Structure 1
Amino acid sequence: MLTFYCAPASGVDRVVHQLPKLFNTFLRAHHHLPGSNERMDRMPPHYSLEIVDEVTSTQDLIRDRNPRDPHGVIANRQSAGRGRHGRGWRTAPRAVAVSLGWQMTSPTMGILPLLAGLAARRVVGGALKWPNDVLIDGDKVAGILAERGGDLVIVGMGVNLWWPDPPDGWGAIKGDPPAEGFGVDLATRWIEHLLELIDQDPWPIDDYRAVCVTLGQEITWEPTNSGTAVDIAPDGSLVVETASGREQIHSGEIRNLRSS
């Protein structure tokens, strides 16, 4: 296990050293978060980072650490990774998992899951299916899991880096096995983007709308509802036009049917 403490600096500065084991690289990221003092008080401009080869779950390791300030864990492999609603996460032969946790006194997570998805899209590419699945050519290549226990908030991302024969509906971001350290670099950049997005006020909702392929789609959601997704509300909910008027979906699974 490697642990780094990443402190404020101007811009982003990485120092790369060759190591004989693990990923052959470690990354020490320094970043500065622009924004008001109020938001800086809520999100300190530094984070600590652990890099491990394998773990049961990066989410669970963060929970064990119970950090006050932002603390990240990056792993090449998870033996018990999970998705939303407790479902298992399908993992490619080459993948990376990353989680970031910190104490947050706000009563709700609000738009945090959407910000995590937008950060993922910025480092992975592709498009977003509301709220935060990352798709490339319609296949899921990355997913977000946001959990809370008391004041501890944990946001995780799993990315399929390379998958030569994925199941239907799943994919990966690389056509060939990536170089050593690729996943760690990607995960570190996700943390940086997420922290920067959290610090923005108001949140960049237009950026999210621009990459959300759910908009304009006819969708269904539990139990037997259907309508056309038309907008993202300021609180992050999905605005749907139905036969009886507009509704807002705040959580739950949706299924795309076709473009309107």
Structure 2
Amino acid sequence: MDPVNPKAAETGSSAASSRSLSKPGASWPDGYGRLIFDSVDSTLSEAARRASELTGPTWILAQEQTAARGRRGRSWATPRGNFAATLMLRHGEEPSSAALRSFVASLALRRAFVATTRDESAFALKWPNDVLLNGGKVAGILLESIGDHLAIGIGVNLAHAPGADQVEANALRPVSLAGETGVTVTPTAFLDVLAKEYAELEQQFRTYSFAPIRTAWLAHAARLGEQIVARTMKDETRGVFEDVDTMGNLILRTPKGRVSITAADVFF
């Protein structure tokens, strides 16, 4: 399928063009649109192409991605059975405030996982944008600014996990939801759950700002109070994970004092 103009099942302004794709569940949040594609290069790229058409918050889901991308330009393919979606939000916020949506999204993901598996203890949150399952990475988040939209890209290993040779050295082992829990769920069914959870947390964020999101995130933070390594392209900082501040920065306690880190890859 041509990734620039794929056929889609759409809810909202356009009629569905594929009978094989499900309609949103009864709990689908009011005010949110949904586009479902069979195959695209990247849901983030598709979101950028369609930004001018979107009149409200819209989820864009693909059953397959052929040229997905992650932090620092890393690329991978998303096989069928895994979850690949981007939420497009129109915003007029400062970049620092918009970036806090990674915490909103990761909390929503954790809540969706718990709702799907009924397991409260298996899922943890890794700063700045990953969700862990039994200590392995099961989901990741990437934020991009597209004009006056914020694009929240989300990838979840629902059915398949990459091999160890597909991740960088010292990275956490990739895991899948099915492989770790035995629970199988389709991407469209998972989207129904995630969209509901995200909408509730987005409303909380808009009403009360970051404080309650930060508290909830820290309650499920991986390795809080333990030594970790934060690595950028230029250097690395080793210290005890002490906090996440009111701007979402990672706070490490090091021999030289407390260090605030805005962006980095974290290693355990």
Shorter-chain TM-score: what band?
A: 0.7 to 0.9
Structural mapping, 1:84-95, within 5 Å: 84-89=71-76, 91=78, 94-95=81-82
Note the 1:28-43 alignment, pairs <5 A: 28=25
> Mean Cα displacement is larger for which, 211-220 or 164-173?
164-173
Structure 1 gaps of 5+ residues are: 7-18, 33-44
Is the Cα contact below 8 Å between 1:128 and 1:214 reproduced in 2? Answer: no
Q: Secondary structure in 1 aligned to 2:24?
A: strand
Match of 1:103 in 2: 90
Aligned residue for 1:13? none
Question: Which structure is higher in helix share?
Answer: 2
The CA distance in 1 between the partners of 2:18 and 2:89, in whole Å, is 32
Find the residue that maps to 2:10 and give its secondary structure. strand
**Counterpart of 1:61 in structure 2: which amino acid?**
E
CA pair 105-20 structure 1, distance change in 2 beyond 3 A: closer
1:49 paired residue number: 34
Say which of 36, 50, 66 aligns to 1:79: 66
Residue 11 (structure 2) aligns with: 4
C-alpha contact (below 8 Å) 1:133/1:140 kept by paired residues = yes
Q: Measure how far apart 1:56 and its partner are.
A: 0.9
Distance 1:245 1:20, change over 3 A: closer
Structure 2: tracts of 5 or more residues without a match: 1-7, 115-122, 166-172
Q: Output the amino acid matched with 1:149.
A: I
Partner SS for 2:184: coil
Question: Within 2, Cα distance between the matches of 1:71 and 1:147?
Answer: 15
Tell me which amino acid in the other structure corresponds to 1:80.
A
* TM-score for both structures, normalised by structure 2: 0.77
Distance 1:228 1:173 in 2: 29
Distance 1:29 1:3 in 2: 16
TM-score, scaled relative to structure 1: 0.79
1:158 aligns with one of 145, 155, 158: 155
Give 2:129's aligned residue: 132
Distance 2:224 2:86 in 1: 28
Match of 1:190 in 2: 194
Q: Return the match for 2:174 from 170, 174, 180.
A: 170
* Distance across 2 between alignment mates of 1:129 and 1:135: 7
Q: Check the 8 A contact 1:92/1:160 in 2, yes or no.
A: no
Task: After superposing the two structures, state which structure 1 stretch, 85-94 or 233-242, moved more.
Answer: 85-94
Shift in Å, 1:178: 3.1
Q: For 1:87 and 1:165, how far apart are their aligned partners in 2?
A: 14
CA distances 1:3-42 after superposition (whole Å, capped 9, x unpaired): 1139xxxxxxxxxxxx99534x32245566xxxxxxxxxx
- Cα deviations across residues 79-114 of structure 1 (Å, max 9, x unaligned)? 011111111146455201111112211121231111
Deviations 1:199-235 (A, max 9, x none): 2114422211111113122122230321111112122
Q: Deviations over 1:130-174 (max 9, x none)?
A: 112111122111111110033121001111112378437111001
Q: Is the 8 A contact 2:244 2:250 kept in 1?
A: yes
* Other structure's SS at 2:157 match: strand
Structure 2 counterpart of 1:219: 228
Higher strand share: 1
Q: Is the 8 A contact 1:4 1:28 kept in 2?
A: no
What is the rounded CA distance, in whole Å, between the counterparts of 1:159 and 1:106 in structure 2?
A: 27
Contact 1:47–1:71 (CA under 8 A) maintained in structure 2: yes
